[in-house]
Each structure stands twice: as structure tokens, then as C-alpha cells.
Amino acid sequence: MTKNKLELLATLLALGAGALDFCTGLGLVFAPALMLKLMGAGALAAEPTIYLRWVGAFVAAVGFSYLWALARRDVALLRHVLELTIFFRLAAGAYSAWAVATGALPLAWVSVPLTDFALAAAQTWLVGRGVFAPPSRP
């Protein structure tokens, strides 16, 4: 795959991941019942909803980081976002996979670790292929 195609793929991935997380996060903050319904997960009582909204703020911030780098048209910043969010995605994916596997979260939440692990793998592959890396010095 050519460098231009890799960079286009990375840009599209960042746009998709950023929009997904930003909108999901805002949805969890401002309309948690609707977001849970869209995920197929059951409604929560009032107290756990406050924690869901808090998590939503972090999810939105991760999504915003991709969109911010894209809006600034700064490829070095975008590369750093792609590198850094790999760790966020692995942490969120591992915890949510454990929670689903042990029954702490219902099966409807399986989309969270699947999405996070898929994006972490794609980002790791793109970064490993040198996407948006500065040119090598001779």
C-alpha cells in the first residue's frame, strides 16, 4: 500500500473514530438512556447514570482529540493522537471485555471491546507502517 493510501486510510480512521467517540461520549453525557437503548443495553438507575455520564465525558474527549488534530491539519499531531489513543483503547477494551466475560456488564456491551480492540489494532498497524512519520534523514 502506498504512503498516500496509508495516510488517507489513517485520516479516514481518525475521522470515523473521532466522530464515533465524540458523539457516543456526548450521548452518554446528555442522553444516556437513548445511548443505552441504541446499544441494546438496559436502563440504569439514577446513581449509576451519573458515572455513565462521567465516562461519557472521557469518551467524548478521546474522540475530540482525533477531530482536533484533523481540524488543525497537523499530521504530526494526528500521528501522536493515533499513537497515544492505542493505549486508551487497549485499557478500555481490556476492562470492558473482562466486565462482559464475568457478567459485570451485559452482553450488549460487547461492542465496546470489539470496537476498541479493532481500532487499536488498525492504529498500531498504521503507526507501524510509518503513517504521518517525518521523512527520514539521509
3-state secondary structure 50-67: HHHHHHHHHHHHHHHHHH
Average of per-residue pLDDT values in the chain? 91
Q: What is the pLDDT of residue 136?
A: 76
33-82 confidence digits (pLDDT tens): 888 888 888 777 766 888 889 899 999 999 999 999 999 999 999 999 99
Domain count for the chain, please give it.
1
Distances (CA, A) of 104 to 61, 72, 95, 96, 109: 25, 40, 11, 9, 10
Residues 105-130 have a mean pLDDT of 95
- The residue range of the domain holding 71 is 3-128
The residue with greater pLDDT, 94 or 108, is 94
In a domain, 136, yes or no: no
In a domain, 112, yes or no: yes
Residues 103-129 have a mean pLDDT of 95
Q: What is the pLDDT of residue 75?
A: 94
Q: Structure pTM?
A: 0.85
